[in-house]
Structure 1
Amino acid sequence: MLTHINPKLPMRDKTVTWDYYVNQLGFELFGSADYDGYLMVQKDSIQIHFFEFKELDPTENYGQVYIRVDGIDSFYQTLLDKKVRIHPNGYLEAKPWGQKEFSLLDPDNNLLKFGESI
C-alpha cells in the first residue's frame, strides 16, 4: 500500500531555497538533522525534499510538483500579502477540468502548481 510521496527537486543554494520555502511560503524545516547538500521542508502533510545541484541551469530545469490544497483562495491571498511572485502565466483561475489553480516558480525554476477541486 502506498502512503506518501515526497518529491525531490534540485536546488543550487540551500540557504536561498530554505529562505523561499520557509519565509515566503510558510513551510517548516523537517527533521532535526542538517544534512550537507540536502533540505527537507514540510507544510501541513506535504513534504518536499531538495538535493544540491550547484551546476543547475534554471532555464533548463523542468522540475514540477502539483500540490492539492484546501482553501486555495485564502492560501493564494496569503502569498499575495507576502508579495510572493506568482508565475506570469499562473494566476489563480478556474480551469475547464474542474480545478482552481495557480503556479509559482521557486528560485531554481521548479514549478509549484497548487490546485483545489471546484
Structure 2
Amino acid sequence: MLTAIIPKLPMRNRDNTISYYIDSLEFKKVGTMDYPDYLIIEKDGIEIHFFLFRALEPEENYGQVYIRTNEIDSLYQSLLNTRVPIHPNGALEIKPWGQKEFSLLDPDHNLLTFGESIKK
C-alpha cells in the first residue's frame, strides 16, 4: 500500500536552502542528525528532501513540486506580507483546469506550485 510521495530536489548550498524554506516559508527541519549533503524539511505533513548538487546550474534545473493547500488565499497573502518573491509568471490566479494557483522559485530554481481546487 502506498502512503506518501516525497520529492527529492537538488540544492547547491544547504545553508541557503535552510534559510529559504525554514526562515521564509516556515518549514521545520526533520531529524536530529545533520548531514552536510542532505536535508529533510516538513510543514503541515508535507515533507521535501534535498540532496547536495554543487554543480547545479539553476537556469537548467527543472525540479518541480505541486503542493495542494486548502487555504491558498491566506498562504499567498502571508508570503506577500513577508516579501517572499512570487515567480514572475506565477501570481495567484484561477486556472482553466479548476485550480487556484501560484508559484515560487527557490534559490536553486526548483519550482514550487501551490494549488487549491475551486468549488463550483
TM more than 0.5: yes
> Any unmatched runs of 5+ in structure 2?
none
Aligned length: 118
1:26 matched residue in structure 2: 26
For the aligned residues, what is the CA RMSD?
0.5
1:77 matched residue in structure 2: 77
> Is 2:84 the partner of 1:87?
no
SS at match of 1:107: coil
1:52 matched residue in structure 2: 52
Equivalent residue letter for 1:85: P
Q: List per-residue Cα deviations over 1:18-66 (Å, max 9, x = no partner).
A: 0000010110001111112100000011000000000000010000000
CA–CA separation in structure 2 for the residues paired with 1:70 and 1:57: 33
Could you state the TM-score of these two structures normalised by the residue count of structure 1?
A: 0.99
Could you state the TM-score of these two structures normalised by the residue count of structure 2?
A: 0.97
- Structure 1 residue 94: Cα displacement: 0.6
CA–CA separation in structure 2 for the residues paired with 1:84 and 1:23: 10
1:11 matched residue in structure 2: 11
Identity rate, percent: 64
